[in-house]
Structure 1
């Protein structure tokens, strides 16, 4: 039902600009007001979230590790410098591989339960499908976003032209079909299919998991429709987009409704972005489980919030104070004498 509700909501989002432009003739509203407002919400929300996370105190080293820590005898136990980094340089390379290669996702394993004559056995095996789906989707989305810079910049940067050439190097169809377009649609369909088909993933999926996938799929399909079927007026579209950048707003009459649908969906994604799980984009850089070296056994860390006026309450003192009720509750004591009730008339 969560998937169905998300799909219906995206469908309603498509109808809003369709009727708003064709029936109500609100071309300036959907071509200028909506995208500008969405960009402001995106920018302010993005900055607010990042600043809030950056100001959050992290008094402890809590990196997620998956390898050998640096040993006093490195020849006997070789350190895993990427999975258990101890220096800033090692942590930097770990972050580079995490951000650009999704390394932790590449190391993903699948768990299965097998019945044998000796009873059930838990088995682990490598599972690269999720990594493949994710990296196809993210890189395709990134390339498509970079290609759209030609609509907002004049002259068009050389790297955008080079990217378009490489992206359409197979010369399939007229106009040329871009590989990133295919990769984006394929990637989002695979991620969506995984949530729908896998019972375990479907069970823990909310509308907030389905909605961005359906929304991005609608954005990709509307863009493909404009390029390969509707054949919109690209010159008029660039006149509008350059007007947005230069604050000289112009909405040519030759732009069709399909463009306004595409822009409205993109604007919805921008406005939704700072308040959604999509904020894992900047979040990975601020995650203490990834961006901190694991040096807790090499350096002494003190909590900066420790109040010097508050005396530490050691466990030994705690046991002396609460030893009797702990013993009555059956809890183990380091010193059994602490669990004995004081004799009558004796000082407690």
Structure 2
């Protein structure tokens, strides 16, 4: 079993320990009946501990909301009847139904838990117990939020940048693998091509999660003001890469069919293997240029378009092979064109070209 020893996880563990210690120290000083239930304050601190500041705020408030719903439900029962073998299961069942309220989020599990605690532990002192329980949980949540806000609130920008970079590189490598298979190891190995598309889907999900967490980490975070990063650009890059990934997976499926791995189409005509391979290499090349930030990206885009035109000319020259044999190459050409246009728009290269034309 692997343990996550990352710096972010260690920092979270240290902050959780500090928050619990502060909550346990403060809890006995609460006024009224709340000082009789100090053990709920550390629990409140724990439930509010999340990797991002906004996540902590959301978790803490939603937990308190769920707890309040459970307490009120149990209190309504205690007012009219005594907790017994019938009322306790009934209240828990209703609480579980209420926990399905979407707005409760992290607090959904605390609805039946709070109701059960009030009925069983509170008993005859359900009112005092409910007040003490709610107050101490709120104290703990407050301690957790304070610690998370003051002690190095995390920003996940670097993780998002690294994941986006990884995604770009993976898509380029995948295209290069397809290009190599066309000229070196045709037909392709079924296991490798199946793994390609599966890896792209998995990586795409991980990248989206990383960008989302980066966005969440900046909300309400005082450190975000100093860094002043535009996460909206990361989302635009992500959407562009997801579009590229869609077309790369489509190319994989088309060529898998042409290679006999799927019943999509017939064999490719011999004269199209090299133009297809070169076209895929050119598509991979523009992704590498985008990743490295090369200034010659416009030239590489232009080269990719010229390579694509060469493929289409090769397809036109083999009309005698029939539509069924030519359809895979035509489909790949369409996908590559979409990739080129997506990269143009994502990098603003189309705007640069327009400005150059106007200046000329």
**Normalization by structure 1: what TM-score?**
0.30
Larger fraction in helix: 2
Larger fraction in strand: 1
Q: Which has the higher contact order (CA 8 A, sep 6+)?
A: 1
**Normalization by structure 2: what TM-score?**
0.30
